[in-house]
Amino acid sequence: MKISSYKSYDELPLFLNAATIAKVLGVSPSSGYELMHKKDFPVLRVGNRMVVPKEEFIEWVERHAGGQQ
């Protein structure tokens, strides 16, 4: 597992891309990109770009923490 360079949610940008999500979660960039294609993941499409609003990402993490689904 990779170690995240972020120490708190406050350090995150307002919108996260696949690379940032991967870094926060400590997974590979391809896993971050794959996660963004999941039906229940809070993705916002801006043209061809996919970004995740910071607050929605935090809520998603809290809902899925501890192996809950």
More confident residue, 9 or 2: 9
Mean per-residue pLDDT, 49-63: 95
The whole-model pTM stands at: 0.83
- The residues near 19 (Cβ < 8 Å, ≥ 6 apart) are 29, 32
Give the residue, 8 or 35, on which the prediction is more confident: 35
* CATH no. of 9-67: 1.10.10
**DSSP H or E run through 53:** strand 49-53
Q: Are 18 and 57 in contact (CB under 8 A)?
A: no
Task: Note every long-range contact of 37-46, with CB atoms under 8 Å and residues 24 or more positions apart, other chains counting.
Answer: 44/15
Cβ atoms 46, 9 nearer than 8 A: no
Using one digit for the tens of pLDDT, what is the confidence trace for 9-43? Answer: 999 999 999 999 999 998 999 999 999 999 999 99
Give residue limits of the domains in the chain.
9-67
Q: Give me Rg for the CA atoms of the chain.
A: 11
